[in-house]
Structures are given as structure tokens and as C-alpha cells.
Structure 1
Amino acid sequence: MSNKVAFVASARPEAQQALRAMIANYGQCDEADADVIVALGGDGCMLDTLRRRFADPRPVYGMNQGTIGFLMNDYREDKLMERLDRAERAVIYPLRMKTRTIDGDVSDNLAINEVSLLRQSSQTAKLQITIDGRVRMSSLSCDGVLVATPAGSTAYNLSAHGPILPIGANLLALTPISPFRPRRWRGALLRHNATVQIDVHTPTLRPVAASADNQEVRHVESVTITEDRNKPLVMLFDEGHALEERILQEQFAH
């Protein structure tokens, strides 16, 4: 791999300190000219860096200077170039969220982890779920629902008791958030190329917000979710610690 590396960092003090140290050791390349982007911070920093990669194919290698760092490698200042040379690639694809609000406004956003719908008020959300043009659930009373990618299945989806998906499984997780009726519904596994449409019943009385990761649209009436295979993202992981291995380990955590 070329030595053309661009370092980026979150605002956390430890990440900023690491940024100064890495630039002193390896120099700094402009992001537009780099062969690889090294992100210093937590998973939020990695997601922000990946979002800037929708327009280009540059891989991102993260080093943990944040809290959880599930998507990051261990931070070390030495032998970075050797680590990059031996790194394993993980290719992931984002979700495209198309929303229509009660005012008729239409928006289009991309999500790396998940698209989630959540109630905006004390009123329970009532949702209709359609998969590939067929209504699968005419009325779901809940706090919300989400569609997660394999890369995002260990994030909010896991907290909502959704399944962990291996990278490369070509599946999406459809997971309810605090379902009230039907009370025992725990969600579904969908093909990666499924089209999910979620319509909000009485959206004025029971307002719902939709989020593509941290990009929120409020007072939605209808949301359509598809995988976008035209926007591949490449992450790099240390040899033997690839994302697929981390997801497998997470399933045996106790």
C-alpha cells in the first residue's frame, strides 16, 4: 500500500492528541489525494468518515480513541504502514431512506448502520409494514421499528434485541422497538435486496420521526428503505481481527 495516508480525528482530547502524534510520525496527506484514510476516535468518528466516502472508493482504517470502538482497530503509534499492508478488507453497503412527510416534503438519506422510526410523542406509533409490495403487517403498535445492515446489527439493533448478522450474509434485520401489539412479534430477516415500506397511521395524531443513522426527518408519513449497492464502502481491519470475526465473537459474548 502507498504511504499516502490522511489522518482524521474526532473532537475528543485523546483523539486529537493521537492525531498530532500520528502526523508527527507519518506526515499528513490531503484526504482527496490519500490512498487510505486513518480515522482516530470511536465508532461515531468511523461512521462520519465513511459517509464522506460515498463519492470515492478510498478505504478507511480506524484506530480506537473513543468509547466502544467496535468498528475500530487497537490504537498503536508504531508499525502503521505494516498494519495497513496486512489489513483485511470488509465491504459494506448502506441503506437508502426515502421519506415523505405530512407536509409532502420528500427527502433521501443514506445510512450505514440502520434506518429507524421512532414515536415523537407520548402516543404509541402505529405502523404498517410492506415488503416488496405486499403488506406483511397492517398494524404494529410500538415505540418504533428499525432496519439494520449487517455492519449495524451490533449497534441499535442489538440493543432492541434484534439478531446479529454476519458480514456477507446478504440479509437485513427488521426489528421492532418496544412492540405493544402484536406483543410477541420479534421482527424478521429480509433479503438484502428487499424493499421495505413503512406507513404511519394517523401521523398527525401519532407523529413519528425517521432517522438514517443520525440524520433525522420528523413528522414522516411514509418511509421506503432499500440497500444501495452502488455505494460500496471499504473498511480495513488488522489481520485476524476482521469485522466478520468481531461479529461472530459478539454472538458468544456473555
Structure 2
Amino acid sequence: MTRIAFIAATTEVAQTARDRLAAMYGDAAPQEAEFIVVLGGDGVMLETQHRFLGRNAQIYGMNRGSVGFLMNDYREEDLPARLAAAQGSALHPLRMRAHSHDGKTHATLAINEVSLLRQTRQAAKLRIIVDGKERLPELICDGILVSTPAGSTAYNLSAHGPIVPLDANLLPLTPISAFRPRRWRGALLPSAAKVVFEVLEAEKRPVSATADYTEVRDVRRVEVREDRSITMTMLFDPDHNLSERIIKEQFTV
């Protein structure tokens, strides 16, 4: 018998699905399971990935939420066979080091993106350094983000950033409502790049930094790079894998 652990969002539809599947297939403890099945939307999938970072857990999602870009279709029948046939997508998170005004350093990981956002009515003013070289001395904007390829279809896409295939080894750098320079639309960086954001006029123009759902307020300097020492595996049905979804999304009108 395949040992499966079920993790569900708090919504009624996700909890009902969990109860039905647990009754059909049993419900192992996550640390003893061969597979972890997540029921809900992309939010609960990200939370589960964060929870099991570094453990190389085999995580398979089924959509019981809204968008569900990171989820497979929900079907109750033949779940062990679907899990056995699923294909893995290997992902690497971003590591953020945010230095706040009180002198503290906050380190955390992001699976989708690291974003900097203005905290008040004043636009943010940022200096951008890539691999030790100043690339933009001053960007006035609502914010900016660095995305993973998997996250390029999320907030990055909403901010008009490019969608990046999983195997492209690129990180989108995308401004959010840039005011000056108005025509700058961002950049595609090598996955090994180290990006540094320095907050200019920080007292007048306070900025927060967020790695997925972990926020640090009043930052002065933020460093972002991909952490290849950590690999996450998400499982997808063969006919609907993540690479295919990312390519397909680029032709959606």
C-alpha cells in the first residue's frame, strides 16, 4: 500500500476532499509518507513546500482552490497509480537577506518571488546592483521583484514581467509601476546572479521586502540570489507537467 499523507487548506471544499481521500487511501504521517498530497490552491502548495524545504519530499497537489497553477486536476480514483506515474519538476528557491533600519538581518527563502514595495504614499527610490556592478543608480517606482521561473507566472506576470521556462536558468527582474526611468521594463538575469537593492531616502520613502509571504518592514538593503543547495520536487501528471504549463501560459490570450 502506498503511504500517502494529505494536507488540505482550511476551506470546506478542501477539507471535504481530504476526508474522502483519507477514507479511501489512509492518511500517513507526513514524515513517514512516500508522497504528500496537497489539497487546495497555490497558496497552500507554497506553504507546504516551505514546511518541507530541504527534506526532498515528493509533493503532489490537487486543485481544490481557485487558480491552482501549481496543482493537478482533482480526481479521487486511482490516486496511487497517478502518483507512481507523476513526473517531478525540480525547483530552487531564492534566498533573501534583508537588512532593516534597526540593524537586524532577516534571512528567508522564496519559492515564487522576492518583492520590494513602498510602504507609504511616497514612491520607492532604489539603487540596483547585480554581481557587484551598479546597473541602475536610481529607480523610482511602486516596487520591484525578482522571480523564480516557477513564480514567473504569478506576481511577476501580473506586473508585466516575462514568463520563463523552468530550464532557462534565468531570473526575471521586474519593476512594479516604474515612474523613472519610465521606459525601463526590467531584465532577465542569469540564475547565478546576486542582486542587491539599496533603498535611497529610506526615512522619507520607507520600503518593505517580502519573500513569498514573509515580510520585513523598513528595509535598507536587500540581497537576493538563487539557492542551488536546496531542491524542491513538485509532482505533475505526465500530460500536464509544469514545464508544459509555463509554455502554454505564454500563448494564453
Q: Is this a same-fold pair by TM over 0.5?
A: yes
1:62-118 CA distances to partner (integer Å, 9 max, x unpaired)? Answer: 000000000000001101011111111100000000010111111101000000000
Q: Is residue 129–residue 137 contact of structure 1 (8 Å, CA) maintained in 2?
A: yes
SS across alignment from 2:75: coil
After the TM superposition, list the runs of 4 or more consecutive aligned residues in structure 1 that deviate by more than 6 angstroms: none
Task: State the alpha-carbon separation in 2 of the partners of residues 240 and 78 from structure 1.
Answer: 17
Aligned to 1:71: 70
Gaps of at least 5 residues in structure 2 are none
What is the correspondence of 1:25-64 to structure 2 with a 5 Å cutoff? 25-64=24-63
Q: Secondary structure of the residue that 1:152 maps to in structure 2?
A: helix
Partner of 2:196: 197
Q: Is the 8 A contact 2:115 2:210 kept in 1?
A: yes
Tell me which residue corresponds to 1:159. 158
**Corresponding residue number in structure 1 for 2:140:** 141
Match for residue 182 of structure 1?
Answer: 181
> 1:116 — aligned with what?
115
Identity of aligned residues (%): 54
State the distance in 1 between where 2:156 and 2:218 align: 22
Question: What is the one-letter code of the residue matched to 2:204?
Answer: L
What's the secondary structure of 1:244's corresponding residue?
Answer: helix
The aligned counterpart of 1:223 is 222
Q: Secondary structure of 2:247's match?
A: helix
CA contact (8 A) 2:54 2:231 kept: no
Counterpart residue identity of residue 200, structure 1: V
Q: Partners of 1:36 and 1:137 in 2: how far apart? A: 45
Q: Which moved more, 1:79-88 or 1:152-161?
A: 79-88
Corresponding residue of 2:207: 208
In structure 2, C-alpha distance between the alignment counterparts of 1:69 and 1:203, rounded to whole Å: 37
Q: For 2:102 and 2:200, how far apart are their aligned partners in 1?
A: 15
Q: CA deviation at 1:52?
A: 1.3
What per-residue deviation string (whole Å, max 9, x for no partner) do you get for residues 192-245 of structure 1?
010000000011110000000010000000000010111100000001110000
Q: Which secondary structure does the structure 1 equivalent of 2:193 belong to?
A: coil
Aligned-partner Cα distance in 1 for 2:228–2:54: 13
Rounded to whole Å, the distance in 1 between the matches of 2:160 and 2:216 is 24
- One-letter code aligned to 2:218: H
The CA RMSD measured in Å over matched residues stands at 0.7
In structure 2, C-alpha distance between the alignment counterparts of 1:59 and 1:219, rounded to whole Å: 37
**Is residue 102–residue 204 contact of structure 1 (8 Å, CA) maintained in 2?**
no
TM-score by length of 1: 0.99
Q: Which has the higher helix share?
A: 2
SS in 1 for 2:204: coil
Structure 1: which 5+ residue stretches go unaligned? none
Q: Which residue of 2 aligns with 1:128?
A: 127
Distance (whole Å) between structure 2 residues aligned to residue 43 and residue 54 of structure 1: 16
Q: Tell me how many residue pairs correspond in the alignment.
A: 253
- What secondary structure, in the 3-state scheme, does the structure 1 residue paired with 2:228 have? coil
- Shift of the alpha carbon at 1:36? 1.1
TM-score by length of 2: 0.99
**In 2, distance between residues paired with 1:100 and 1:239?**
42
Q: Which amino acid aligns with 1:66?
A: G
Instruction: Give the aligned partner of residue 98 of structure 1.
Output: 97
CA distance, structure 1, for counterparts of residue 167 and residue 25 of structure 2: 33
What's the offset of the Cα at 1:55?
3.0
